[in-house]
Chains A and B, each alone.
Chain A
Amino acid sequence: MQEILQYLFSGITNGAIYAVIAIGFSMLYNSTELINFAHGEFVMLGSLCMVTFFGSMHLPLVPAIILTITCVALAGLVFERLAIRSVKHPEPIVLIIITVGASIFLRGIGMIIWGKDAYSIPSFSSHPPLDIAGAKLLSQSIWIIAIFLVAAVGLQLFYKKTLTGKAMEANAISKRAAWIVGIPSKLMVMMAFGLSTAMGGLAGVIIAPITMSSYDMGTMLGLKGFCAAMLGGLGSLWGALIGGFLLGILEALGVGFVSSGLKDATAFLLLLFILYVRPGGIISSADVNRF
């Protein structure tokens, strides 16, 4: 029992991270039908900015987080403006190749700014781990889950209650119809980029204290986030959540009950299986009206 609980805690912590990354993928896919393969690099940027602002400059926690997310979102906006919008024939394959190129470019930038070393920062608070029935829940895990909940609820409110959010949703459903009623689609796409990369930055922020941040950390995280998004159903907020947590928990249980050598394999096998049974993911966009 104690073991299973410990596996679950480990899985939920990782799952929350995957979910935040997956939301970024989904959000962008929703507005632009584009898979941003540079998304993992924005997570890396978030993590390393956090190292600089919180770890080296010793800013207080909240300003450091806000500053980091702002920086990453700005980088996302610049990326959209320079590399995506300026494409003459924005066919999906061209854009995807551009994002792959951008990921290599961003990794290079990360290496030039922060060097090749890994960095670590202290946990957001120094509480001892919570002891629940013999299993330890780390204080940073609680931070991760709390920040994740705030972000998820915030996004939901933004999409459902604000005019801008509704406009973005409208633009996602039909660009042309949105344009006819006067929604500036370019601005909405740009905002989607900003929000998506901000979510990437947020993932980087919460992950920085539990793992080591380095310029090459983004690729694997991006891949896992992408899998989570696919698993849950690309384009759906709730799908991303379910996919992220499912992937995290399955990985942890895979380690516990199968083999740690097959950790990634267990999760990916299940992904294949689910996609075979439900090609659109657990919550496919046909079932829900996207966001």
Chain B
Amino acid sequence: MLLVKRYRSMMMILSVLAIACLLVASPAISASGKKPYKIGGIFAVTGPASFLGDPEKKSMEMVVDQINAKGGIDGHMLEAVIYDTEGDPSKAVMGVSKLINKDNVIAIIGPSRTPTTLAVMPMIQKAKIPFISCAAGNKIVQPIDPWVFKTAQSDILAVAAIYENLKSKNIKKIGIISVNNAFGESGKEQLLSQAPAFGLAVSKSETYGAKDTDMTAQLTKIRQDNPEAIVCWGTNPGPAVLAKNIQQLGLDIPLYQSHGVASPKFIELAGSAAEGIMLPTGKILVAALLPDSDPQKEVLNAYTSEYEKKYKSSVSGFGGYAYDAVKILAAALKNSNGDKEKIREALENTNGYVGVSGIFNFSKTDHNGLSPEAFVMVKIQDSTWKLLQ
């Protein structure tokens, strides 16, 4: 009896361990005559930021497979080693340390979030290894670190796009509500600092917790000053709760959201409350609506169809960060012979690369390389996106 009990508890522990092991992604192995180029990926594949990390990991694997199918780079196959950060800075540091010391990768792509990126940057500087982050925070590339690049659009550009739209509607007074994590704080900072330049007054700036179930209290507070518009800065699901609360309170003022909710999931979550909401987004979301003259249209269509064919799930803009990063890196790897300094220089000289997130022009003074044209304003209408001119 005792033995059976012990056996049972052992089994419990073993099964928990087994599942834990399964959750750790296993890297792909490639084979070719020449030694493969090992590139590292580090994304928040699980955890609260998995909506970023999961498509990023899939996109990275997809591009690597495509490049290998075409014979690799200068005859070298690519080998992706991908670790999961779970969105946690300490796990990101562990992962990057493994990539550098154990796997000896020649470049690293990721992490998905700003805090995890900032946490691993000192190691990148020390190891002198080309690094392309997929996170949005502006602090990553300002001040510039020679080894650090990023492909995600900065929130500076997103805020500018929203304020441009507010200005065109002659709106003067707004209320802000942002999520109390790094994404929200960074957005709030930009919203507050750029407001005067567009002639806007921020009457109230409130915050909410990422897991809050109800935000009517914050909205009630914002409502007291009769703002002409509300700008919400957060990632799903919080902003969907907020949109519902606004509808329930019967607040009849325009609501602007950040690019953090630019996915069909938001419309699904917010339901009828999503109608009329405006937000800036990378062009991927509205690829079909873009005029044929748009230079990014071809890339966008190619990425969308490849991704949807391979993973049978709809594409989000976030995977594009990793897609662009791998493609830019692949271009830089050509003729580099795996020399890190050469790769870095080639990255810095990337010019006019047309990607999913925009047209990249890296330089010594700009390691993000995007302009405000990387964003378009869209409005949600009849449960779908409508391009605003």
A129 adjacent to B217 (CB under 8 Å): no
A138 adjacent to B248 (CB under 8 Å): yes
On chain A, the residues within 8 Å of B206 by CB distance are: 255, 260-261
Asked whether A111 is an interface residue with its Cβ less than 8 Å from the other chain, the reply is: yes
B237 adjacent to A17 (CB under 8 Å): no
A108 adjacent to B269 (CB under 8 Å): no
Number of contacting residues on B, CB 8 A? 45
A212 adjacent to B240 (CB under 8 Å): yes
B6 adjacent to A88 (CB under 8 Å): yes
Asked whether A226 is an interface residue with its Cβ less than 8 Å from the other chain, the reply is: no
On chain A, the residues within 8 Å of B207 by CB distance are: 260-261, 263
Residue of B nearest to A252 (CB): B217
Number of contacting residues on A, CB 8 A? 45
The one of B19, B47, B216, B250 in contact with A10, judged by C-beta atoms closer than 8 angstroms, is B216
Asked whether A80 is an interface residue with its Cβ less than 8 Å from the other chain, the reply is: no
Residue of A nearest to B45 (CB): A116
- Determine chain A's interface SS by DSSP, over half rule: helix
On chain B, the residues within 8 Å of A120 by CB distance are: 237, 240, 268-271
Asked whether B214 is an interface residue with its Cβ less than 8 Å from the other chain, the reply is: yes
A118 adjacent to B269 (CB under 8 Å): yes
Stretch at the interface among A56-64, A168-176, A177-185, A213-221: A213-221
Asked whether A187 is an interface residue with its Cβ less than 8 Å from the other chain, the reply is: no
Interface string of B92-109 (1 = CB under 8 A from A): 000000000000000000
A137 to chain B, nearest CB (A): 10
* Inter-chain CB contacts under 8 Å: number: 112
B335 to chain A, nearest CB (A): 40
On chain A, the residues within 8 Å of B271 by CB distance are: 120, 122
Asked whether B180 is an interface residue with its Cβ less than 8 Å from the other chain, the reply is: yes
A33 to chain B, nearest CB (A): 21
The one of A83, A108, A256 in contact with B12, judged by C-beta atoms closer than 8 angstroms, is A83
Asked whether B213 is an interface residue with its Cβ less than 8 Å from the other chain, the reply is: yes
On chain A, the residues within 8 Å of B248 by CB distance are: 129, 136, 138
Q: 19 more A-B contacts (CB under 8 A) besides A83-B12, A129-B248, A261-B206? A: A7-B220, A10-B217, A10-B220, A17-B213, A116-B51, A122-B271, A210-B213, A211-B212, A212-B237, A212-B240, A214-B237, A216-B47, A216-B48, A221-B211, A255-B218, A256-B217, A256-B221, A260-B218, A263-B208
13 contacts between A and B (CB under 8 A): A7-B217, A7-B220, A14-B213, A88-B2, A88-B9, A101-B16, A129-B250, A210-B214, A217-B211, A220-B209, A221-B213, A260-B207, A263-B207
